[in-house]
A and B are shown apart, each in its own frame.
Chain A
């Protein structure tokens, strides 16, 4: 089973086993799990962007029917440890409920527990809170400049401000004949899964176990829960068999969990909090990056970009969380697919009086890709070069891999030029340009969008020590345990939740491939956190590599064990044994063999026939670190971020009605290379879903605030998720450049599509409006805003 060899199940168009339970409505989602006697939480939230909490009067609420408890911040903070944050910012403490001061509109101030959610909401209205409004700041530039402080004790609004210099930036700049500088903005949006976050906690004081069922996608969830609640991690049992109704990064309800965990311990009953959509949008702390980029590049007459300076200022909202790390991960692909020799990167995270950010699909990479790609387009225009040609000139060539970029990551493999060729062929690039020009001649604004982006995959922790030297976590693991029971059935255990990525299918396919058995016969189950092996959950586009890798190695070890048993029982050296379809035979005498049933029986019952010293039974665990992981950053901040790099090339045609400003995607072709595809249906779905999400971020979705500091896009009438109408048919062109670092050559695809769609749409819109002399440099490009810009430009031209 080599990388180039043919696979039996890998890459074949098999069904996704998880689907059967979903199509009949038998998913097991957080809200479906209702322990006997469970009580319900509703939240009292702050109506001001910043306010001192003067008093909380719970009397009326407590007197209402069915009300069990009203919890306020002081009690909770007194009984729990502050929530973990990524950066070393002790003066920016974060608790589930505001303590003394609330710092954004929608922040949770008190929690009501009642017999039903409706009763809890009734009582939440009756909690009387006196506030003293405080000055607030919403804008990142203003916050960076100082003035109004979000956390007085921190004495600044800056959580992170690091400048890295990799290579001879100033020298490359002064040696280059051309420079270009511009600012592009990425607006505040997020992944917004259709299922909100939900969690139920149930404390059993006799067993001293806190059972947790949550729609979670989070590394370090059980440990952070335990630490905050001041109980041993061995007292927290997180059930990983809960189906998660979409996450794409954000389902990390640690504050929700600490809240209900505390309440369950305090009240001695199971307690649950299923966010409603308002709680989710305002105070669920799941907004995504909001970033201003100042990018400057130095290049020569040929358009070869020699050096780049990028300043990324991110508005992370009122508390730190993990979100500032989203400025760190893009360090691993800071030059995109290009051979930019030197880079200066300033990463700044500021707090403001907005909702807290969480990890969003690609962990900050998509905004960075957008900034890079917008810049490449502008360089091409400055020089009058074709926008694809300039990319080709700057791109790393197939034969140059593995390729070390200035910031310390080595790209594993790629064949960017071939992917581009395939896409241009599929699209009929010449025809596409002709079509654009025909539309233009007919009075429509039309533009071609181009984006070439990387998807770093195999999620690793390197950004943590990079941005916070106190954190020594140099790699992350994932694991798989496989057992063959005494009647010969196979059960593989995974150790985290899933949110639609098809991990059960992944494991089944890999185990089937290695053990040469029908993948559908491989049972895949999930451990709970008390009997699980290490997993860092499905983040950073890592599971095909990491869970797939762990399953491979565990299955391989079992296969080796079966072979060793056969060799011993047949009395021949192990090298002479061939394993085929579960049976093992002597290659020198093929009819001398041991069948699957015989081998299983020896391992489980005829222990006396085992090789001396061999462990009986057939159960193997494999814990795998991230390939290339484990290194600490150098003093100048160079580190291998993620191991594998998928590539995508987007090409699209957009038409804009000049009177309305409404962009319409006429054609969309994407070339996608994530190495060996394990399941084509899953990879296609990820890519399509990522593109749809990218269309949302580029054109529709924005957590907009008004001048009073209130979130105005707080429900689904105003925060616009693309519907089937808004997502055009997309043609996907596949290419496979296997990764040398993984067991089948696979790379990640969990974030594909999203990494380049916003950049490509921005590229297309700008190509369309350029004849009017305008540039659109912030996302999302909303219809009426674009319409107003076009109208102003036309007035000027008139």
Chain B
């Protein structure tokens, strides 16, 4: 089936089998490999992308279901080559990762939170990333990264890009 996708504000037409998950479509067809497979059954969150600004699991969507919505992947978050978004930079500042496998998804989940709420409490941050499993960090430096980014964004008074 042909499906037209809006990914990181660019249109792509791809020919897919209905059974192809959005995750595999992004990775295999569009070479956007920042979304990762961790479990492929909806639990770990490593495949998180934004659909119309909300964090969703791309392993639980089929590519054929993804037309007509705006998809944002981690590749769409950095402002330009070599540049980092405030969240990405905050993750580097606190070292909110180790192996980096859960990281793009974690950042997107955090992005979805901060685009609605730039003053999240610790509980709100924890809840927003509780569907994303990180095996490396124990989460402390991730939570700090998100809090730091929120603080900087508030300082900037600059709304986060959707």
Q: A31-B37, A692-B137 are in contact. Are A724 and B100 (CB under 8 A)?
A: no
Q: How far is the CA of A193 from the CA of B28 in the complex (A)?
A: 22
CB distance from B99 to the nearest CB of A (A): 3
Q: A194-B38, A195-B38, A717-B43 are in contact. Are A689 and B135 (CB under 8 A)?
A: yes
Q: In the complex, what residue of chain B is closest to A505 when comparing beta carbons? A: B95
Asked whether A724 lies within 8 Å of B95 as measured between CB atoms, the reply is no
Asked whether B41 lies within 8 Å of A717 as measured between CB atoms, the reply is yes
Q: How far is the CA of A753 from the CA of B138 in the complex (A)?
A: 10
Q: Could you list some 21 contacts between A and B, CB below 8 A? A: A15-B93, A19-B91, A19-B92, A19-B95, A23-B89, A24-B75, A193-B101, A194-B36, A194-B46, A195-B99, A245-B100, A248-B135, A681-B95, A687-B138, A688-B138, A692-B137, A724-B125, A724-B126, A724-B134, A724-B142, A729-B140
Annotate A438-479 by CB proximity to B: 1 below 8 A, 0 otherwise: 000000000000000000000000000000000000000000
CB distance from B9 to the nearest CB of A (A): 16
Q: In the complex, what residue of chain A is closest to B89 when comparing beta carbons? A: A23
Please name the 8 residue pairs, one residue from A and one from B, whose CB atoms are nearest each other, closest first: A25-B34, A22-B100, A500-B98, A245-B101, A500-B99, A688-B138, A692-B138, A25-B74
Does A646 sit at the interface, judged by CB under 8 A? no
Residues of A714-763 whose CB lies within 8 A of B: 715-717, 721, 723-725, 727, 729-730, 753
Residues of B78-136 whose CB lies within 8 A of A: 78, 84, 88-89, 91-95, 97-104, 107, 125-127, 129-136
Asked whether A725 lies within 8 Å of B91 as measured between CB atoms, the reply is no
Q: How far is the CA of A243 from the CA of B98 in the complex (A)?
A: 11
Asked whether A193 lies within 8 Å of B88 as measured between CB atoms, the reply is no
Asked whether B77 lies within 8 Å of A27 as measured between CB atoms, the reply is no
Q: A25-B34, A245-B101, A277-B39 are in contact. Are A681 and B94 (CB under 8 A)?
A: yes
Asked whether B141 lies within 8 Å of A246 as measured between CB atoms, the reply is no
Asked whether A23 lies within 8 Å of B46 as measured between CB atoms, the reply is no
CB distance from B76 to the nearest CB of A (A): 10
Does A244 sit at the interface, judged by CB under 8 A? yes
Q: In the complex, what residue of chain A is closest to B98 when comparing beta carbons? A: A500
Decide if the interface of chain A is mainly helix, strand, loop or mixed: loop
CB distance from A548 to the nearest CB of B (A): 17
- CB contacts (< 8 Å) of B34 on chain A: these are 24-26
Annotate A15-59 by CB proximity to B: 1 below 8 A, 0 otherwise: 110111111111101011010000000000000000000000000
CB distance from A9 to the nearest CB of B (A): 16
- Please tell me the size bucket of the interface on B: 35 or more
Does B40 sit at the interface, judged by CB under 8 A? yes
- CB contacts (< 8 Å) of B41 on chain A: these are 277, 715-717
Does A276 sit at the interface, judged by CB under 8 A? yes
- CB contacts (< 8 Å) of B127 on chain A: these are 724-725
- CB contacts (< 8 Å) of B35 on chain A: these are 25
Query: Could you list which residues of chain B lie within 8 angstroms of chain A, going by C-beta atoms?
Result: 17, 19-20, 27-28, 32-41, 43-44, 46, 73-75, 77-78, 84, 88-89, 91-95, 97-104, 107, 125-127, 129-143
Decide if the interface of chain B is mainly helix, strand, loop or mixed: loop
Asked whether B98 lies within 8 Å of A246 as measured between CB atoms, the reply is yes
CB distance from B64 to the nearest CB of A (A): 14
Q: In the complex, what residue of chain A is closest to B143 when comparing beta carbons? A: A724
- CB contacts (< 8 Å) of A21 on chain B: these are 100
Q: How far is the CA of A16 from the CA of B145 in the complex (A)?
A: 14
Residues of A331-355 whose CB lies within 8 A of B: none
Q: How far is the CA of A723 from the CA of B46 in the complex (A)?
A: 13
Asked whether A19 lies within 8 Å of B137 as measured between CB atoms, the reply is no
Asked whether A500 lies within 8 Å of B136 as measured between CB atoms, the reply is yes
Q: In the complex, what residue of chain B is closest to A28 when comparing beta carbons? A: B33
Q: How far is the CA of A452 from the CA of B63 in the complex (A)?
A: 52
- CB contacts (< 8 Å) of A274 on chain B: these are 37
Q: How far is the CA of A247 from the CA of B100 in the complex (A)?
A: 12
CB distance from B23 to the nearest CB of A (A): 11
Does A684 sit at the interface, judged by CB under 8 A? yes
Does A501 sit at the interface, judged by CB under 8 A? yes
Q: In the complex, what residue of chain A is closest to B107 when comparing beta carbons? A: A23
Asked whether B75 lies within 8 Å of A685 as measured between CB atoms, the reply is no
Say which residue of A26, A193, A681, A688 sits within 8 Å of B99 (CB atoms): A193
Q: How far is the CA of A194 from the CA of B140 in the complex (A)?
A: 18
Q: Which of A25, A29, A500, A686 has the most CB of B within 10 A?
A: A25
Asked whether A730 lies within 8 Å of B138 as measured between CB atoms, the reply is yes
CB distance from B34 to the nearest CB of A (A): 2
Asked whether A688 lies within 8 Å of B135 as measured between CB atoms, the reply is no
- CB contacts (< 8 Å) of B134 on chain A: these are 194, 724
Say which residue of B74, B75, B95 sits within 8 Å of A682 (CB atoms): B95
Q: How far is the CA of A689 from the CA of B97 in the complex (A)?
A: 10
Asked whether A685 lies within 8 Å of B98 as measured between CB atoms, the reply is yes
Q: How far is the CA of A715 from the CA of B129 in the complex (A)?
A: 20
